[in-house]
Amino acid sequence: RAAGRMTDRVTLVTGGGTGIGRAACLVFAREGARVVAVGPDEAALKDAAACVQDEGHEASWIVGDVRRSEDARRAIEATIARYARLDALCNNAGIEFAAPLHETPEDKWDLVLDTNLKGVYQMSRHAIPVMMRQGRGVIVNTASQLAFVGARNYGAYCASKGGVLNLT
């Protein structure tokens, strides 16, 4: 492997089954990391892991909901059980909901904020003690340009990504 690559590192990617998370899994793997994809859709996670494996890299998956502390803890623990380390956490899981603020149902607001912001908190709070014990680790949080500038009908999404930016 080329100098500077993450050979033998372990990276956990939330939202790793689709979209940017799936692409992140491929990028981390191409840089030499063993990748663990986490998300709610087992079929998508299996497919993402297969794409990484088809390129000759190691990948696994864990079905879980980043909004739930128990699922976040379980994802971290399963990664440690399998690889004995966690070098990077890529908090990427995210969802959108579009509607004028006054027409946004509270359950949709909660779903977006809980997934996009609380999920970063849940995963990080379980990963940080592991990284502290190891004496190293990196957390990468995915926000959006909408963390800086709002967009019409995306109040919950913009608020969540602004929260991610400030939490980071």
Active-site annotation, residues: 157
Q: What is the C-alpha to C-alpha distance for residues 116 and 109, in angstroms, rounded to an integer?
A: 11
CB 57 within 8 Å of CB 31 = no
CB contact burial 61-94 (16+ within 10 A = b; e otherwise) = bbbbbbbeeebbbbbbebbbeebebbbbbbbbbb
Q: What is the C-alpha to C-alpha distance for residues 26 and 15, in angstroms, rounded to an integer?
A: 13
